[in-house]
């Protein structure tokens, strides 16, 4: 018979094969916890990047507003608007350099 010469080839497979060959299903709680931890890590990185961009944009904004205010005030083109822009630039500078970083840390 043809099976007899092939039997020695299949013996190691039969000896070393596990009794229960079906894999156990993954635990739903651990899978959900892993997905949640990956999501929170990604969200944290995204929010840190957004915080950096917001601070950079506010720096550009208050510098621009402050310079425009100085130009308008000292060239006397529109003195009142220049004074208000200078005040707004100072308020933006204080907010973006001191208040926003304080809020972000907490």
Domain-embedded: residue 88: yes
Looking at the structure of the chain, the number of domains it has is 1
Choice between 95 and 106, residue whose per-residue pLDDT is larger: 95
Asked if 76 and 30 touch (Cβ cutoff 8 Å), the reply is: no
| Domain membership flag for residue 41 | no
Tell me the whole-structure pTM to 2 decimals: 0.61
Domain that holds residue 78: 52-106
CB–CB of 82/72 below 8 Å?
A: yes
Q: Please, which residues have CB within 8 angstroms of residue 100's CB and are 6 or more apart in sequence?
A: 54, 55, 58
Give the pLDDT score at 54: 87
In whole angstroms, give the CA distance from residue 87 to residue 66: 8
Q: pLDDT digit string (tens) for 29-72?
A: 888 899 999 999 999 999 888 888 888 899 999 999 999 999 99
**C-alpha–C-alpha distance, residues 83 and 91, integer Å:** 12
Tally of CB atoms within 10 A around 82: 19
């Amino acid at each position: 018979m043809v099976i007899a010469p092939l039997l020695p080839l299949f013996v190691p497979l039969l000896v070393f094969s596990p009794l229960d060959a079906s894999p156990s299903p993954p635990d739903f709680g651990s899978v959900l916890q892993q997905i949640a931890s990956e999501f929170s890590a990604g969200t944290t990185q995204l929010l840190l990047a957004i915080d950096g961009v917001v601070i950079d944009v506010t720096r550009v904004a208050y510098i621009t507003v402050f310079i425009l205010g100085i130009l308008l005030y000292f060239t006397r083109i529109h003195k009142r608007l220049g004074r208000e822009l200078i005040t707004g630039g100072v308020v933006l500078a204080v907010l973006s350099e001191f208040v926003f970083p304080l809020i972000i840390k907490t």
